[in-house]
Amino acid sequence: MNGNARHSQAMHFTARAADKVRNPVLQQALQKAKPLFSGKRAKAMAALPDDGLEFEALREACAGIRDRALNDLDVWLEIFEENACARGAEVLWARDGSEICELVIDVARRHGVQKVTKSKSMLSEEAHLNDALAAAGIEPVETDLGEYIIQLAGEAPSHIIAPAVHKTLQEVETLFAEKHGRPLEARTSADIPALAREARGVLRQHFLSADMGISGANFLIAETGTAALVTNEGNGRMVTTLPRVHVVITGIEKVVPTLQDFATLMRLLPRSATGQTISNYVSLLTGTRADDESEGPTKTVFILVDNGRADVVGSHYQDILRCIRCGACMNHCPVYFSLGGHAYGWVYPGPMGSVLTPLYTGIENALDLPHASTGCRQCSSVCPVRIPLPELMHGLRQEQWRRGLRPWGERLGLRAWAWVAGRPKLYRALTRIAARYLNWLADGAGRIRIFGFAPGWTAARDLPVAAGGKTFFEQYAARKRD
Amino acid sequence: MRIALYVTCLVDLMRPAVGFAALRLLEATGNDVVVPPAQTCCGQPAWSAGNRPLAVELARKAIAELESYNVVVVPSGSCAEQIKSVYPKLFADDAQWGERARRLAERTQELSVFLASLGDACQPPGEFAGSVTYHDSCKGLRGLGIKAQPRALLGRVRGLSLKEMADCEECCGFGGAFAENYADVSARIVDRKCESIAAAGADAVVGGDLGCLLNIEGRLRRRGDETTRVLHFAEVLAGEAQP
């Protein structure tokens, strides 16, 4: 079994979804976040022309940059490695999650590391790195506020840029009171800064005492050997500059050729993610501390990870690797905002997750995800790198079909239906019967309340039926005769 | 001009009145309107499920029976999109069928797009004493760019006023088999739509795709809303929606 699949709950999507829609606290948190995400992005995009920019042209350029990198990925990675090493960094390669853990623990042991501070890294989620570090006797401390919250709660991120979006203020207050050992207070949203201050007070001690910092990278810039970090909290800088050792863990697909390319992508990344023209912090981290510098790590290690990505390069699904992790697809997804991220069962939620999870954990291990979409295309219409997410999900649906992974009832049902639909006379006869049957089942108001052929439908809604019990074609034929 | 009306399987079985409304509107344009008798389903359910061979089979059937008309009009954004966008893709590797699919795609029009393209030549006979709010169905909106056309047409209906709801472009949660297979999720999504509709306070919610409309109506009624009417725009334009 694929190593990623061992940690995936994606095959239990339906049961998890049923649980999530019935969780009023979660629904409250999601309902609050939804308009914030979409509203901020919409405002930022509407203001693009003020800066002489145009969304469609910009995302065409951004998609082009990512394609250029992906089409010659090996070449750009080699250029990156050469330039990163020339600036004193070490570049290591990890095939999968367990290799990430082995490499990180090895680096930590070589440098006598006991405590690690971390800024946000989804790759470390793919690897379950915190568990591995703890098992090796190394203390990992998440320092992104959202990541810190869910680390305290013992949970996984439910969103790629807002990991604790599923939590309400009250839940965080209770959690902090318990974990920080203080009395519970009643708070309002106006007190959120006080909660953040409280976390900052705790984290400051960790920043100053950590031996190693682990971060992700939003982009790797090949021409300079640089890791670009786009953040809104100061923690990213603390993690990457204070400790002696800095480890960057990121996917091999994150490379872009030039600084200019990075600048272009930055036009859309913060706007798509949070509606900001630029994030509070943009850090370009290159090499180790030079002799004439007073800050920065003396050891920098890049761990560049495959974990399923190389197989996607050159496949029908390569476009998904353009993803710049802005979260806009999930922020505009009706399914995501009905469930939150945990229902998806693996690291990445929402539309991008519904494509990545089957690809990285095995198509047969995430059968629901490509189908758990209404096909509304809100995701692809906001994607800053024009990933055809609905088409990619559809590609996965086709592959499920080709590999015989669909349930027999669906296979048989569709085949029978298509066979009848190919025979108009038979089709007319059967639909005439169906119309009468529906009419017979309907109550006085013309509605079916329980329908055995569509139990899911009538579990939540009535089925409205037209009066008369006759199909269009039956009535049309009668009119023509008259 | 010979116009074919592609009724769609859902209208045929679940709401024939939409088909007759569309027929009436098309006949009022003074053209020769035909309802091709062998039509059944465009094959979208098979395509959505990921079954390409069955989708191809039904696409061939539809192309053969529709390609001889000047225009094919469909009272559904979703089925029109299947013919216009998916059919050419299905036959991308087949020169002969590919060409036939592309020709049909060019001639196929969603009903509101076709009627709006006629300009003043289309004067909807309907009257509607009341307010409506319009739900933009996803495939029509994001697949075919249908947004202004139905609103422009409804604007010509005497007595009708439009009250836009918040998030009118947000999905209603139908998604074909999705509504059945992921019923819990679908119900949560359509609940948000019902809340937007209630907040708009219109007498009727109007749309252009019967699947979405059945989903919305079914959920509104289950929630206890017995008064908000749920109508296809063709019914309103043709004057078949008077209380």
The string of pLDDT tens digits covering residues A424-453 is: 999 999 999 999 999 999 999 999 999 999
Two tokens at A114? 């006991």
CA atoms within 13 A on the CB side of B41: 23
Closest CA to A321 of A256, A272, A275: A256
Indicate the pLDDT class of residue A27, thresholds 50, 70 and 90: very high
pLDDT of A252 higher than 80: yes
pLDDT at A182: 94
Two tokens at A54? 């145009």
Mean pLDDT of the region A254-268:
98
pLDDT digits (tens, 9 = 90+) for A66-90: 999 999 999 999 999 999 999 999 9
Beta-bridged to residue B71, according to DSSP, are B3
CB A119 within 8 A of CB A203: no
* Chain A 70-129, residues with CB within 8 Å of chain B CB atoms: none
Query: Measured on CA atoms in the order A359, A160, A394, A336, is the torsion positive or negative?
Result: positive
Cα dist. A46→A43, A275, A462, B22, B145 in Å?
5, 10, 40, 37, 19
For chain B, say whether A373 makes contact (Cβ under 8 Å): yes
CA distance A241 to chain B (A): 44
B42 to chain A: nearest residue by CA? A421
Rounded CA gap, B63 and B43, in Å? 11
From A17, A377, A463, residue closest to B218, measured CB to CB: A463
Rounded CA gap, A306 and A99, in Å? 10
A439 to chain B: nearest residue by CA? B14
Rounded CA gap, B159 and B130, in Å? 6
pLDDT digits (tens, 9 = 90+) for A286-308: 999 988 988 899 999 999 999 99
pLDDT at A1: 58
CA atoms within 13 A on the CB side of B165: 28
CB A345 within 8 A of CB A357: yes
pLDDT at A149: 97
A14 to chain B: nearest residue by CA? B182
For chain A, say whether B156 makes contact (Cβ under 8 Å): no
3-state SS assignment for residue A37: helix
- In chain A, what percentage of residues exceed pLDDT 70? 100
CB B239 within 8 A of CB B126: yes
Interface probe, candidates A461, A471, A482, chain B, greatest B C-beta count within 10 A: A461
Rounded CA gap, B89 and A261, in Å? 33
pLDDT at A60: 98
Could you write out the DSSP letters of every residue in B65-92?
HHTTSSEEEES-HHHHHIIIIIHHHHTT
R_g (Cα) of chain A, nearest Å = 26
- What is the average pLDDT value for chain A, to the nearest integer? 96
Query: Measured on CA atoms in the order A42, A48, A54, A59, is the torsion positive or negative?
Result: negative
Rounded CA gap, A83 and A74, in Å? 14
- What is the separation of C-alpha A25 from the centre of its chain, rounded to a whole number of angstroms? 22
Beta-carbon separation of A338 and B188 below 8 A: yes
pLDDT at B122: 83
ipTM of the complex: 0.97
pLDDT at A118: 98
pLDDT digits (tens, 9 = 90+) for A98-145: 999 999 999 999 999 999 999 999 999 999 999 999 999 999 999 999
Two tokens at A446? 């013309």
Indicate the pLDDT class of residue B170, thresholds 50, 70 and 90: very high
Mean pLDDT of the region A173-198:
94
Beta-carbon separation of A476 and B138 below 8 A: no
Q: Which helix (H) or strand (E) holds A355?
A: helix A350-361
Two tokens at B180? 């059945």
Indicate the pLDDT class of residue B242, thresholds 50, 70 and 90: confident
Burial of B121 (0-12, 13-18, 19+ CB in 10 A): exposed
pLDDT at B243: 65
Two tokens at A444? 């006085």
pLDDT at B223: 96
Mean pLDDT of the region A19-35:
96
Beta-carbon separation of B188 and A21 below 8 A: yes
For chain A, say whether B103 makes contact (Cβ under 8 Å): no
What is the pTM (predicted TM-score) of this model? Answer: 0.96
pLDDT at B241: 82
* Those residues with Cβ within 8 angstroms of residue A372's Cβ, 6 or more apart along the chain or in another chain: A13, A17, A335, A354, B178, B182, B185
Indicate the pLDDT class of residue A481, thresholds 50, 70 and 90: confident
Rounded CA gap, A443 and B35, in Å? 31
* Those residues with Cβ within 8 angstroms of residue A397's Cβ, 6 or more apart along the chain or in another chain: A370, A371, B48, B49, B50
Burial of A13 (0-12, 13-18, 19+ CB in 10 A): buried
Rounded CA gap, A141 and A311, in Å? 32
Maximum C-alpha span of chain B: 53
Two tokens at A376? 């509304």
Closest CA to B207 of B225, B224, B220: B220
- In chain B, what percentage of residues exceed pLDDT 90? 95
pLDDT digits (tens, 9 = 90+) for B192-235: 999 999 999 999 999 999 999 999 999 999 999 999 999 999 99
Beta-carbon separation of A17 and B185 below 8 A: yes
Closest CA to B127 of B152, B148, B154: B154
Maximum C-alpha span of chain A: 97
Mean pLDDT of the region A420-424:
98
Rounded CA gap, A93 and A110, in Å? 17
From B11, B169, B184, residue closest to A21, measured CB to CB: B184
Rounded CA gap, A477 and B225, in Å? 36
